[in-house]
Amino acid sequence: MRMTGAGLAALALGALVPAASAASLSKEADINKALFEISVADEIRKNCDSIGARIFAALGRMNALKNEAQSRGYSEAEIEAYVSDKEEKRKMRARADAYIRAQGAAPNDGPSLCALGRDEIAKQSRIGSLLYAR
């Protein structure tokens, strides 16, 4: 079987450029940072009755992240596999819990998460932009 020059070039390029995969999404630092921020905001709003979520802001951010991942070559199935992966969820939860503790709050502790949420809102952080005080 003979391969044309174009076929050989395509094969060589395919070998040099790794295909996007759900596993490689974990290496996308900016996307994961944004997912982390959403995760922390979600933890705060779930445990603090005096703070609500800016649902449309969170959905908008999630859609932007999905669009960004797709523009980098990830398929919808790869994105869904990544965000649904139990191990990746566990890692994200551990990162969020570590951040919460580093800020002087405790995961699942309503009063300390309320204080953290109010601080994030006051700082106008990316986490705080997903929350509002009721």
Q: Is residue 14 part of a domain?
A: no
Q: What is the pLDDT of residue 15?
A: 32
Q: Is residue 54 part of a domain?
A: yes
Q: Is residue 8 part of a domain?
A: no
Q: What is the pLDDT of residue 72?
A: 95
Query: Torsion angle, CA of 26/29/103/112, rounded to 10 degrees?
Result: -50
Which residue range forms the structural domain that includes residue 119? 30-133
Q: Is residue 2 part of a domain?
A: no
Q: What is the pLDDT of residue 111?
A: 97
Q: Is residue 120 part of a domain?
A: yes
Other beta carbons less than 10 A from residue 5's beta carbon: 7
Q: Which string of b and e fits 67-105 if b means at least 16 CB within 10 Å?
A: eebeeeebeeebbebbbebeebeeebeebbbebbeeeeb
Rounded to two decimals, the pTM is 0.80
DSSP 74-86: --HHHHHHHHH-H
Q: What is the pLDDT of residue 22?
A: 55
Q: What is the mean pLDDT of the chain?
A: 86
Q: Is residue 25 part of a domain?
A: no
Q: Is residue 87 part of a domain?
A: yes
Three-class SS of residue 52? strand
Q: Which residues pair with 53 in a beta bridge?
A: 131
Q: Structural domain tally of the chain?
A: 1
Dig out the tokens for 97 from the structure.
Answer: 């819990």
Q: What is the pLDDT of residue 71?
A: 96
pLDDT, tens only, 39-76: 999 999 999 999 999 999 999 999 999 999 999 999 99
Dig out the tokens for 63 from the structure.
Answer: 């859609």
Q: Is residue 99 part of a domain?
A: yes
Kindly give the parts of the chain with pLDDT less than 70: 1-23
